[in-house]
Structure 1
């Protein structure tokens, strides 16, 4: 590895990329993979067959470029989201990470800034580096919460060109109140800030949690990003999208690569959106396993955060690194997010959840150390 780093250092790499490590969660061959917040339920057979059929149809025209405007997909996404959104309010790309990258390409860049509030999704600073946008790390309270007053005060002070709010937040799993989004949007008025609400896990939200989609009318600087990787169990298809004022899509057309969504990707997503009910049938089961994890972690004396997502962030561990390794030795891979005393686990199937809980109880028993402030 050191030899490779030495070779990399000799290349004329941009200065702001030197010393940065690429994004990457461990990809290990273990029985129970609960570290990257995938939907671990397999696609229903009917949906698999529908995708296979539509991709086969698309294959007959692969000698031609795909629909550059992915017209059918935007129509189906608008119908799925509702809230009065129309196809011109929608945009899609190869995963929500590419959507975010395109936003930073259009509104960030040299001399511009993007702000988010760690601990949050680790790709945000990497996307900033990749687009030569200066990253500003905001602050949360000790219990990882973010209030409207605090967020607005920080945005007013920093005057960033772009603000990213992750809701439900990754890795903590808790959704933001819409008052936070509204406060940040108003605080960014003076600096004309683009405000992104990353709702990758929105379909798993607790009852009563409202989406920022409701705030889009009249707010031309507000963008809500979503993905088909999580609730739709299509992580391997790479399809992310956004909803915003139509002029946002016009801006992204200036930076997107030609024909960036392949015919195969479009066919896969369109087939899936024809079977929304079947695909989302697993969401309630996942939420049930998530709530089961929260209850069992509390029983073990640990401190899970309130989760509006398909994963649980929990603290109270004396040696989180040792617990992570012990779980791995037991065939269960969870995520060490780099916060001492804490780990994050995806809510999987009932069998996967049972394997995690049994392995964890064998490791910590009643030895957990309380960490006030995170209780669900």
Structure 2
């Protein structure tokens, strides 16, 4: 046996991660879909006060069931759906990444499979790998939508225990039609359909949330995060809404006291400032739509986006374009289908720097 005794299927693999470069070297960083606007001064003060209170009791374990936080998250979600969400329907963990991993720990595993439709979030197959769950990928159409007949047929053929559907999709930004959720919830039988709405707050007017369908499908799970709309990427708080039996099942696989008292206090403080934090979402949506229009006016292919990022292309040598932007102090993401690039939506000044750099790079390559 080779030391260390790593699982054979993990040997030679590199850990997940987008490039992280010093801000003084690359001043415009638009590659990991962060919110460019930090929490307000009032929110920062509230977080600091709440954490100070929590710090006085750090000799004790935190509330294992994070009861107050579940109630606050349920109240927030109930305001974003036609259905009422109760605390018993909410589960939270350290980022929506851990929520997804816990779902596959509980409902995947040896002899079971998880399924999604490419292009899709690149971490999904890693969750499957880490939980020894078989991974199956269908394909999206050229416009990144789902052919529902083909999607249903694949689900009925493979019988996954978990279907993972990001909406808006990462890396494309496209949202699922509500009928797609219904079709796949019906097709999967007793399996779960997980609609990953990490970017749900950024969806365009008229694009519904899968939360509306929770009362209709007991096997539907809708995940969210506070990393994006709440400008809390450093806080690491993701959560889901689902049937109470699903939340109870996840409790079996969660680690003891997995949400620290500091995390709970931080998230509760941010939720108290939801209106002011979410006001920035409208600004980012406008900047996103303006970016889509500008890119299309320049002759680029652009995927419709309901997220805080834009996928655009296509380039014969996308890496050269990516490198050219980086050389000019603008970092975006080389991800998605061949020939495409993804830019996160930043401040107007950051997007202006992106546009200027892209014009120079593309003109040089003609």
> With structure 1 as the length reference, what TM-score do the two structures score?
0.93
Task: Give, in angstroms, the shift of residue 318 of structure 1.
Answer: 2.6
Task: Give, in angstroms, the shift of residue 338 of structure 1.
Answer: 5.0
Deviations 1:65-108 (A, max 9, x none): 00111011111111101130010010000000000010100001
* Paired residue secondary structure (1:116): strand
Q: Distance in 2 between matches of 1:239 and 1:103?
A: 16
Q: Is 2:329 aligned against 1:336?
A: no
Task: Give, in angstroms, the shift of residue 144 of structure 1.
Answer: 2.3
* Paired residue secondary structure (2:315): coil
Residues 152 and 187, structure 2, Cα contact 8 Å, conserved in 1 = yes
Higher mean C-alpha displacement, 277-286 vs 17-26? 17-26
Match of 2:319 among 308, 318, 321: 321
Residues 1-376 of structure 1 aligned to structure 2 (within 5 Å): 10-29=3-22, 30-82=26-78, 83-189=83-189, 192-337=190-335, 339-365=337-363
Deviations 1:271-312 (A, max 9, x none): 000110011111011111111111110121101110000000
Deviations 1:295-352 (A, max 9, x none): 1101211011100000000112232111100000000000000532110000001111
Residues 108 and 133, structure 2, Cα contact 8 Å, conserved in 1 = yes
Task: Give, in angstroms, the shift of residue 270 of structure 1.
Answer: 0.2
Residues 300 and 366, structure 1, Cα contact 8 Å, conserved in 2 = no
* Paired residue secondary structure (1:152): helix
* Paired residue secondary structure (1:117): strand
Deviations 1:104-150 (A, max 9, x none): 00001111110011111000001111111111111112332213222
Deviations 1:239-281 (A, max 9, x none): 0000001011100110000110000000000000011001111
Residues 163 and 196, structure 1, Cα contact 8 Å, conserved in 2 = yes
* Paired residue secondary structure (1:138): strand
Q: Distance in 2 between matches of 1:19 and 1:119?
A: 24
Residues 119 and 336, structure 2, Cα contact 8 Å, conserved in 1 = no
Q: Distance in 2 between matches of 1:306 and 1:292?
A: 12
Q: Distance in 2 between matches of 1:301 and 1:318?
A: 14
Higher mean C-alpha displacement, 316-325 vs 162-171? 316-325
Task: Give, in angstroms, the shift of residue 367 of structure 1.
Answer: 7.2
* Paired residue secondary structure (2:163): strand
Task: Give, in angstroms, the shift of residue 34 of structure 1.
Answer: 0.3
Q: Distance in 1 between matches of 2:165 and 2:2?
A: 34
Higher mean C-alpha displacement, 41-50 vs 135-144? 135-144
Residues 302 and 317, structure 1, Cα contact 8 Å, conserved in 2 = no
Task: Give, in angstroms, the shift of residue 366 of structure 1.
Answer: 9.9
Higher mean C-alpha displacement, 237-246 vs 142-151? 142-151
* Paired residue secondary structure (1:25): coil
* Paired residue secondary structure (1:91): strand
- Identify the residue that residue 371 of structure 1 maps to in structure 2: none
* Paired residue secondary structure (1:269): helix
Q: Distance in 2 between matches of 1:365 and 1:213?
A: 45
Q: Distance in 2 between matches of 1:21 and 1:166?
A: 24
Task: Give, in angstroms, the shift of residue 36 of structure 1.
Answer: 0.4
